[in-house]
Amino acid sequence: MSGTGNYSLMVHGGAGALDNVKDDKTAFRYLDSIRRTLEHGRDVMQLGGSALQAVEACASLLEDDPVFNAGCGSVLNENGKVEMDAAIMDGRDLSAGAVAAVDNIANPVQLARLVMTASEHVMLIAEGAMRFADHCGMERVPEDYFYTTDRVEQLRQARLQHKIMLDHDDTEEDTEDQKYGTIGAIARDPQGNLAAATSTGGIVNKRMGRVGDSPIIGAGVYADNETCAVSATGFGEDFMRSVIAKTISDFIYMKGMDAEQATAAGIEYLVRKVSGRGGVIVIDSEGNCSSGFTTKKMIHGWIEKGGATCCRF
């Protein structure tokens, strides 16, 4: 396949038991958002956009949807505040940008893109990142933009139980009912360029200043034209310790695996080394799409080599 049809795109909206999705209406809400995001990415590709443009656009749409734990609808930390992390990476030259512990920015992935293109750094955090956003002219939004009834209730429950909770936890102690709500997008464009983006609000009642894997290059996000693009969603500490995104890339580079083989090998490594919880989406340099997860389910979808739009839990 050649021309504008030779592209692949994947997005995810979190992993876990997803036992909160107990009715058709809720399930449709998640999957419809994933489908619409993929179709938007398709439009970007068909209009000649790059993989980098596609992942930024798709991640921004998911940040705008309050059903996901990123941007609007992010979970609240121990002080009842939103602190968000995001990263984006260009597989052409390994350029990358990341931000951590930011607030009042509607689309942290767009700020991460500015760090990549308009600064000499890879990562900026907290006040420094916010000053850079002001320098770049990014609009700040009020705190109440991010708050939803569900997130406020999650924080209340976490405080009552004196624990940190993950997105869409129920009120029971069974950790298998947790949902890890990071969002992500990866793409391969018709020119063979790969890109990846990941964004999250973190975990409910987290300590102020806690940073997970999402903005860490090689952990929650990675892209290299020689190998693959990866975005991860899960318990961030597990993904940082295993450097899971780079590990999957290395399986392709060093062992000649394709996306499916490298994903399986990466998930096996994640479980064996740290009993990791969560999942990944992967597109290799040939445009092959793959996903893997250690939780019961993962919200994700894909367009492989310009084909049909597919979504599933």
Q: Tell whether the model's pLDDT for residue 206 goes beyond 50.
A: yes
Token pair of 105 as six digits: 């920015």
117 is catalytic: no
What domains can you pick out in the chain, each with its CATH number? 3-312 (3.60.20.30)
| 8 Å CB contact between 110 and 141 | no
Q: What is the rounded CA–CA span in Å between residue 302 and residue 308?
A: 8
> How far from chain centre, in Å, is Cα 145?
20
Q: Tell whether the model's pLDDT for residue 166 goes beyond 80.
A: no
Q: What is the rounded CA–CA span in Å between residue 100 and residue 108?
A: 9
Confidence of residue 85 (pLDDT cuts 50, 70, 90): very high
Given 37, 148, 171, 182, the catalytic residue: 182
Q: What is the per-residue pLDDT for 179?
A: 64
pLDDT in tens, 16-49: 876 656 567 778 899 999 999 999 999 999 999 9
Name the average pLDDT for the chain: 91
Inter-axis angle of helices 108-118 and 51-64, to 10 degrees? 150
Q: What is the rounded CA–CA span in Å between residue 219 and residue 274?
A: 14
Q: Tell whether the model's pLDDT for residue 195 goes beyond 70.
A: yes
Q: What is the per-residue pLDDT for 175?
A: 47
pLDDT in tens, 222-262: 999 999 999 999 989 999 999 999 999 999 999 999 999 99
Percent pLDDT > 90 in the chain is 74
Q: What is the rounded CA–CA span in Å between residue 257 and residue 250?
A: 9
Confidence of residue 160 (pLDDT cuts 50, 70, 90): confident
Residue type, 134: D
